[in-house]
Structure 1
Amino acid sequence: MPREPLIGLVGKPSSGKSTTLNRCYVQKLATFRKGHPTLNGCVNGRRSVPIELLDVAGLVPGAHEGKGLGNKFLDDLRHADALIHVVDVSGTTDAEGKATRGYDPSVDIEWLRGEIVRWILGNLMEKWGSIKRRHVAVKANAVDTLQGQLSGYGSTSTVVARCLDKM
């Protein structure tokens, strides 16, 4: 039986992640078995299906370098099927979740995405020598080699190929 989708809630400390329910439901089209829709909770051909939310502790700038235990929290995100970035748009907490006034919340979107990208890049670069040696030894193509390293982050060969094409 497939597991419930795991959605990671990410953001800085005090952004409202923990106030989000631990469990919620999304609407999905009803499935059909032997010509009959599953009626368990169906309303007008739709049924509620559970999802699980992963409330990751607040991330701060420098998390990819371990600041605020960031590497552990970033590693927790690998298990999520999708991420929802919770942003406090009030402007009353800074990037580290400390009380302030007039903070621009759009800054949070930029630095959090950058933290995730730098964390993945750091993990990749840490192993780059052995990745390169194995790539040459087995005469692999670039997509297969990179996919082998990025699969733990939910990557697919199609995504890796598309990224390489863009580069």
Structure 2
Amino acid sequence: MSVKIGLVGEPNVGKSTFYSAATQNEAEIGDFPFTTVKPNLGMTFFTVRCPDSEIGSHCNPREGYCENGIRHIPVQVIDVPGLIEGASEGRGMGNEFLDAVRDVDAIVLIVDISSGSIENIKNSINLVMNEIKKWFADRIYSDWDHFSRRSEATGERREIALRRKLSLFGVPEKKISEILEAEFFPARLSIWTMEDAYNLASAILKYAKPVVYAGNKGDKVDAETIRKIIETIPDMYVVSAEYELAVKRARNAGMIDSVLTGFKITGGNQRQREALEMIDRWFRTPGVVRIHDLVEKVVKNLLHYIVVYPVYDENKWTDKAGNVLPDAYVMVEGSTALDLAFRVHTDIGEGFIRAINGRTKMILGRDYVLKDSDVIKIISKK
């Protein structure tokens, strides 16, 4: 399973530039509505310290890569068409936009902060969030009378019925139970209204598909405005997709030795060198976040994912072919050894006998709660 992050926002906020800077792909970029007319799917990475240093062997990742002891774990990024008011009713590229959103794990809502106006920024956020909620609610409430009557006639539990209904949005059963425990909804499905469906849509975006805000074009405002924006709007991260893309292209052209803040300039003419020095200084502005750091915050802090390494040989940490730590599985915090077994293969999960901790060599039961960076061998009848 690869984590999937959706990039959403109104037209002309810099989504395609953000996407191009974050991924190995280049999206079409233009200063006009609907530059993106169909979803772009690319790959970026978040980083963790690789366990291979503990055994003195270099890992052989099947996906992603490892550099200087830092494992780069793939993350899918989907850039979807710009959203306008009325998109939930099919205006603009609304249907293409929202169909692409339903199977993402988290959403980065990109907003243009170049005006420096808190009111404008909040209005943009509210417009996009409202359209997504309305789209979700319309599809949740579609054919609701027939759905609710059938569910109540069979005596089906509410969460079971909603699991079937919400399968369209990729909401897992655990999240449905969490939503129903944390928020109030009528016990009888037959008395739900469109307002209840809208509230459920809001809960999905809170618990199952969390949202953070990327305040793009932060290079157009001063440091004091950046401070006010991040203090006023929770979950706001200030970025400059344009600067990020410039740094990425400079690295590809051999002008700098790294894309990380503090890079060393190794080429380019005088004007290019001065521009790169200015960009590096701006990246150090208090409150500014690099895009790769934002991706990492989404994966670790927002989605609460951990990374686990399944192996065949618990002593050498290899697979059957002798590859060292070939797989790095992204798992939700609280996942068990049995969950990992099913991730490896359904047959492995069904035949689960026990697991072994690659570090301590301790025997682990199916209910063992995985820890971040665990190295685990699964023993199965199949």
Bin of the TM-score, shorter chain as denominator length: 0.7 to 0.9
Determine whether 1:137 maps to 2:161. Answer: no
> Match of 2:76, SS?
strand
CA distance in 2, matches of 1:72, 1:123: 15
Match of 1:84 among 96, 100, 108: 108
Determine whether 1:51 maps to 2:75. Answer: yes
Are 1:30 and 1:37, in contact at CA under 8 Å, matched by a contact in 2? no
> Match of 2:108, SS?
strand
Are 2:46 and 2:75, in contact at CA under 8 Å, matched by a contact in 1? yes
Are 1:91 and 1:103, in contact at CA under 8 Å, matched by a contact in 2? no
Are 1:31 and 1:37, in contact at CA under 8 Å, matched by a contact in 2? no
The corresponding residue for 2:59 is 38
Are 2:13 and 2:110, in contact at CA under 8 Å, matched by a contact in 1? yes
Number of equivalenced pairs: 154
Which deviates the most, 62-71 or 103-112? 103-112
CA distance in 2, matches of 1:72, 1:39: 38
Are 1:78 and 1:152, in contact at CA under 8 Å, matched by a contact in 2? yes
Match of 1:28 among 32, 44, 48: 48
The corresponding residue for 2:10 is 12
Deviations 1:26-59 (A, max 9, x none): 1134367xx7673651434x31123222110100
Q: For the aligned residues, what is the CA RMSD?
A: 2.5
> How has the CA–CA distance of structure 1 residues 105 and 128 changed in structure 2, closer, same or farther, with 3 Å as cutoff?
same
In the superposition, the TM-score normalised over structure 1's length comes to 0.78
Which deviates the most, 7-16 or 132-141? 132-141
Are 1:56 and 1:76, in contact at CA under 8 Å, matched by a contact in 2? yes
Determine whether 1:126 maps to 2:142. Answer: yes
In the superposition, the TM-score normalised over structure 2's length comes to 0.37
The corresponding residue for 2:87 is 63
> Match of 1:74, SS?
helix
Are 2:7 and 2:79, in contact at CA under 8 Å, matched by a contact in 1? yes
Deviations 1:53-100 (A, max 9, x none): 2110100111111111312310111132221111111139xxxxxxxx
> How has the CA–CA distance of structure 1 residues 31 and 68 changed in structure 2, closer, same or farther, with 3 Å as cutoff?
farther
Superposition deviation, residue 102 in structure 1: 9.3
Are 1:25 and 1:48, in contact at CA under 8 Å, matched by a contact in 2? yes
CA distance in 2, matches of 1:56, 1:11: 9
Identify the structure with bigger relative contact order (alpha carbons < 8 Å, sequence gap 6+).
1
Letter in 2 for 1:26: F
Superposition deviation, residue 120 in structure 1: 0.9
Are 1:18 and 1:55, in contact at CA under 8 Å, matched by a contact in 2? yes
Structure (1 or 2) with the larger CA radius of gyration: 2
The corresponding residue for 1:111 is 127
Identity fraction in percent = 30
Are 2:7 and 2:109, in contact at CA under 8 Å, matched by a contact in 1? yes
Letter in 2 for 1:113: M
Structure 2 runs not aligned, ≥5 long: 26-42, 185-382
